[in-house]
Structure 1
């Protein structure tokens, strides 16, 4: 990914989370880009301009999960009510977008006959 594309992705997410740590956001972006690069099983050259939107969304969802630190449980007497914490890591988010990423890369998008 070019430096201009990285800045475009970071700026888009920083606008949504101005209070977020920018160094942490850059570290997460690097992890996301590494995961996409690793998932490129057909070894084609990655056209990052086609993936900017997907990368931006994955980074947004990852930051949202990290910054949403609401109440996870409430205890009243001997009763505790727990809520699912909405945290998701970048790997699970990439897994959700993997089919789309593979189609954009041109990997595994065809029909398979057995």
Structure 2
């Protein structure tokens, strides 16, 4: 992602999301406004035929693909992923150099 990971909210109430194991998740029966879970859109990628977000969930690594879900991208706000987002913005960010002076 151009701006780094993005905090997102999603509708995870459908049982298909709770039992997700692999592949690009595309659930037609979801709410794009009644979101109920925070997650992290860490990156995005594509298969030969689909674009998807790589989303880290707060559930354990036994869920999904080591705790991640590949959520369909550009499909009418899939599971409300674009309803509420948050990311830091930095203006004129300058590098900070830390020097450590040994007492010895």
Q: TM-score, normalization: structure 1? A: 0.19
Q: TM-score, normalization: structure 2? A: 0.20
Higher helix proportion, which one? 1
Higher strand proportion, which one? 2
